[in-house]
Amino acid sequence: MSASPGTVPACPDFRQPAALLAHMRQTLAFYEPRARDAQGGFFHFFKDDGTVYDRRTRHLVSSTRFVFNQALAWRWFDEPAADVAHALHFVQQAHAQPQGGYAWQLDWDGSHASVQDGTNHCYGLAFVLLAHAHATEAGVPGALAGVAATFDLMEQRFWEPAHGLYADEATADWQVGSYRGQNANMHACEAMLAAHAATGEARYLARALVLAESVTQRLAAQADGLVWEHYRADWTPDWDYNRDDKTNIFRPWGFQTGHLTEWAKLLLQLERRLGDAAPAWLLRTARHLFSVAMARGWDPVHGGLVYGFAPGGSVCDCDKYFWVQAESLAAAAWLAVRTGDDAYWRWYDRLWAYAWTHFVDHEHGAWFRILAPDNSKLTDEKSPAGKTDYHTMGACQDVLAALGVKPPQR
């Protein structure tokens, strides 16, 4: 079954801000108004046609990403800040736990949240920080204090100053485990940039730089200049972690094509924010990571970027994921604007043409989550927990930022 049955409309010129804004609106329309739960937060599980197929399970990643989505709607389209507050309130009241952390997964009956998984994940806290930062920009009461409180919590429970990195997970009573991962640190870097944008406080920008250097320079030196995903407690690579398990979407094995390009984007965003103080390795590393991702990740037969490749360079997971395409096109735009090299714009156009043909649902809206190597459908679950199209709408917003387009003045 094709991912995009029927006639696909002509692909817009996504170098134009109007096209990016229209696509964000169309994607938001898939979730509004069906996603909002008047009794608390947002629903997290949607079929292709928008049907909610699980009304009770609430995952911290989706709960926080809906804050981001609503902040984006507020920022660009003058949607109510009350929707941002509604999303953040659920994070603060339902996910927040007495021990100071945030439950990874809940069962929500409409009035009460039961913890299904109380593990404290630094990845989750990074998104709690990101959510508070974007809610701060929207003027949500208490959000600014939440930025500082979340940073302090990450500092207290996960920060390892000797390594310049965050540990990954802890039990509900804060017993830190031995696993270490780059993914939590990458999203922590993203959150620090958002916190700096929202507050102007230098400590967030400084932490973003430390994280970027630790991952893309020091750790990458152990992996031929690339970003490996999994590490032991001493931050030496664990080359076998999850090698035979494709079920953990937050800890996949192999070099992740989309994480290489996501880092490329973050490095350039960090460079712009640092201005004249930016070190030269930021641009150099961004170009390198993007180049390798395209060389090893692009499918020359069916198009699109594969999920992951092995240390030797061979493809280890040839499925196509929505977020990989989205983060990569955003990185291509940032590189194109930063360098003036038209080759990056050609990659940008190629990635959009592929995504428009295969991932964008032209019937119901939003993007499909995952496709087979030949771009056929694998599931009718468009947006299970964790998705929310944060990556796709965020990519559009990132491209607008690369182009220097600012939200409307209020």
Q: pLDDT of 232-250, one tens digit each? A: 999 999 999 999 887 888 8
What type of residue is 214?
S
What does the pLDDT read at residue 245? Answer: 86
Instruction: State what percent of residues in the chain have pLDDT above 90.
Output: 96
Instruction: State what percent of residues in the chain have pLDDT above 70.
Output: 99
How many CA atoms are closer than 13 Å to the CA of 354, on its beta-carbon side? 27
CA atoms 52, 136, 261, 313: torsion sign: negative
* Mean pLDDT of all residues in 211-220: 98
Q: What's the CA dihedral at 402, 404, 407, 408 to 10 degrees?
A: -160
Alpha carbons 181 and 164: distance in angstroms, whole number: 13
Please name the fold of domain 60-253. Answer: Glycosyltransferase (1.50.10)
- For 122, 169, 180, 333, the CA distances from 119, given in Å and listed in that order, are 10, 7, 15, 37
Alpha carbons 410 and 322: distance in angstroms, whole number: 33
CB atoms within 10 A of CB 13: 11
Please name the fold of domain 1-31+257-401. Answer: Glycosyltransferase (1.50.10)
What does the pLDDT read at residue 333? Answer: 99
> Residue 162 in contact with residue 213, Cβ under 8 Å?
no
What does the pLDDT read at residue 3? Answer: 58
What type of residue is 336?
A
Kindly give, in sequence order, each residue whose CB lies less than 8 Å from that of residue 162, ignoring residues fewer than 6 positions away. none
Domain with CATH 1.50.10.10 in the chain: 1-31+257-401, 60-253
> Residue 41 in contact with residue 85, Cβ under 8 Å?
no
Alpha carbons 39 and 259: distance in angstroms, whole number: 35
Is 329 a residue whose pLDDT tops 70?
yes
Check whether the bond before 9 is cis (ω within 30° of 0).
Answer: no
Q: What are phi and psi of 57, to 5 degrees?
A: -70, 130
* Mean pLDDT of all residues in 277-303: 98
pLDDT tens string 377-401: 999 999 999 999 999 999 999 999 9
- For 250, 336, 394, the CA distances from 287, given in Å and listed in that order, are 25, 10, 21
Alpha carbons 368 and 142: distance in angstroms, whole number: 35
Name the packing angle between helices 17-31 and 60-77 (round to 10°). 130
Query: DSSP class of residue 52?
Result: E
> Residue 209 in contact with residue 186, Cβ under 8 Å?
no
- By annotation, the residues acting in catalysis are 259, 391
Is 266 a residue whose pLDDT tops 60?
yes
What does the pLDDT read at residue 258? Answer: 98
What type of residue is 81?
A
> Residue 320 in contact with residue 370, Cβ under 8 Å?
yes
* Mean pLDDT of all residues in 148-172: 98
Is 77 a residue whose pLDDT tops 50?
yes
Is 305 a residue whose pLDDT tops 90?
yes
Is 69 a residue whose pLDDT tops 80?
yes
> Residue 136 in contact with residue 198, Cβ under 8 Å?
yes
pTM of structure: 0.97
What does the pLDDT read at residue 247? Answer: 80
Is 1 a residue whose pLDDT tops 80?
no
As given in the structure block, the two tokens for residue 195 are: 């916190």
> Residue 211 in contact with residue 267, Cβ under 8 Å?
no
Give the confidence band of 62 by pLDDT, cuts at 50, 70, 90: very high
Q: What are phi and psi of 138, to 5 degrees?
A: -80, 0
CB atoms within 10 A of CB 9: 9
* Mean pLDDT of all residues in 292-308: 98
pLDDT tens string 347-383: 999 999 999 999 999 999 999 999 999 999 999 999 9
Give the confidence band of 330 by pLDDT, cuts at 50, 70, 90: very high
pLDDT tens string 171-214: 999 999 999 999 999 999 999 999 999 999 999 999 999 999 99
Give the confidence band of 33 by pLDDT, cuts at 50, 70, 90: confident
What does the pLDDT read at residue 250? Answer: 80
What does the pLDDT read at residue 4? Answer: 53
